Chain A
Amino acid sequence: MKNLIILTVLILVCSNIYGQTIESKFSGISSYFQNSKEAEKASGVETENVSLIPLSLNVNTKEKQIDVRNSYLIPLNGKSETKKVDVDLNIGFSIGGKIDNSIASVFKDNNVIGGFKSGGLISLRFQQSSKVFESDEKFVTLFKEYHNAKAGSKEKSNLKKSVVNYVSENLHNATYWLYLSPGFEGRKFINIDSLNQTSYIKKNNTFNNVSFGISTFQNNLPLNFMGLFDLSISIKNQDNFSDLQEVSSFNQFSNGNSGNKQSFTSYLGKYNESVKSKQVSFESYLVNKNLPLFGLYLNPTYDFANDLYDPSLDLNYTIYFLSPKVSVLSPNFGVVFTHKDITGNRDELFENEKSRFSIGIVTRLNVGEWFN
């Protein structure tokens, strides 16, 4: 955890240094600025302030967690003038808290059970470079003709069509990611082996997981669709907390007054601190360009090589609601439907069919890891 924080600080410092690099390609004629303060100073005019906190806040009621996260893109072949593909290194982190008890018990027992959740990401991003067009003489000539043509003229309109057609023929509008993502989670709660016992045991546990994955965004799919696809393998070391039963317990103080009865939440059942498993997960996120305000997410996950249980297949699907003002990969929110163990291999974990099904709200697109 300490190393993760140090790495994060280093990345922040490095990206700040990188972000302030000024090229002087146009000095002598005019200037451009990547730093708004420098532009303000040179022009003598005031510009609006923007937030300098580089974090996004995410709420996930399905997992009952809240976190802040950010990621940084570092170009690996940024200097090359002849490159056809941009290769970028993406480093990210998230840190937050999560609640493990039911919302009802928070109000009833007046205590919150939970812990922390943090994650990291290192990925390589590949996509066609803008240099393909910047260094293309035919494109630049065509664009200059378009720029110089008289506004509103037929010539300008025809030149616009020519530029669009030329770029369409030479454009591969897709992005590919290859990533590795470690995660850490901590939990603190009170465990009771059976209702007949009165000895409560405080449990404090941390566990980890790591995922490897490949993802792609495709802008031009058949039938006017666009979307994201992700295939990942996760190696998890978790506990069996979700198998325990939440119960309300209380302490009765020796003077016997009812006012001295203190209730709290505890978890009933045999606690296993380390349950190893492997998962293969496929995720897809599709948006039809004719229905631009909705996105459909589909995610089957196959959990196998589990220390405790037979293999099982979970299915999540989410309907996302999009805003016309922001990227298709940044929906406003989504309603998540989860079906656990649809093959019925882990019947012992579910009281009935209803308990396999849950609904939640998410505020970000949860495909693979971070995408930008």
Chain B
Amino acid sequence: MQALVEVKFNSNTGRIPITMIEGIEFSEGNYKKPNASNSNWVLKAKINISPDKILTVSCMAIGRSLHKADAVITVKYRKSNQKIEKKENVEDDTFSKKAGIVIFSKDIQL
């Protein structure tokens, strides 16, 4: 089964060293960078997944700290011929306290 996984970081993020989804490493070059009409860093990846399992998405990014570096993970897939969309909001408290480092690992039940 295939799913479209979208990882979206807000504009407080400046660099994306690594993202892991289903054992695949994604780097900064895989993200669409912010521009004047969309201030988010966006990764869109088509991933082979197993139904009825947990999808783990882990990210480490660097940014201009201060406000929280929010991330939104969206997984879209079809199950029993129905469109399913799961959305997870992630906030990492270490970001503003440390030197602008955001790190999280999110388990999403499919």
Contacts and interface: CB of A to CB of B under 8 A. Distances in A.
Interface in B31-48: 32-39, 42-48
Interface in B14-60: 14-18, 20-22, 24-30, 32-39, 42-48, 56, 58, 60
A334 B64 CA distance: 20
Contacts of B105: 146-147, 149, 151, 156, 160
Given A33-B44, A164-B94, A171 B58 contact: no
Contacts of B62: 130, 167, 171, 173
Q: Dominant SS at the B interface? A: strand
A353 interface: no
A356 B77 CA distance: 63
Contacts, number: 183
Closest CB pairs A-B (n = 6): A43-B4, A133-B17, A147-B58, A32-B45, A327-B11, A45-B76
9 contacts: A31-B46, A36-B42, A45-B83, A70-B35, A129-B15, A144-B20, A171-B99, A173-B64, A219-B99
B107 A151 contact: yes
A47 B74 CA distance: 10
Given A30-B46, A151-B107, A164-B101, A140 B18 contact: yes
A139 interface: yes
A295 to B, nearest CB: 10
A77 interface: no
Contact of A289 (B20, B39, B42, B65): B65
A164 to B, nearest CB: 5
A39 B4 contact: yes
B85 to A, nearest CB: 8
A143 B20 contact: yes
Most chain B beta carbons < 10 A, residue from A32, A39, A52, A144: A32
Given A29-B48, A43-B2, A147-B20, A289 B76 contact: no
A327 B9 CA distance: 11
Contacts of A156: 105
Contacts of B85: 45
Contact of B36 (A25, A55, A130, A151): A55
B110 interface: no
Contacts of B14: 127, 175
A43 B2 CA distance: 7
Given A140-B18, A163-B103, A171-B99, A33 B46 contact: yes
A130 B15 CA distance: 6
A355 interface: no
A34 B65 CA distance: 26
Contacts of A372: 34
A1 interface: no
B36 A324 contact: no
A292 B15 CA distance: 21
A212 B72 CA distance: 39
A134 interface: yes
A40 B67 CA distance: 32
Contacts of A167: 17, 60, 62, 101
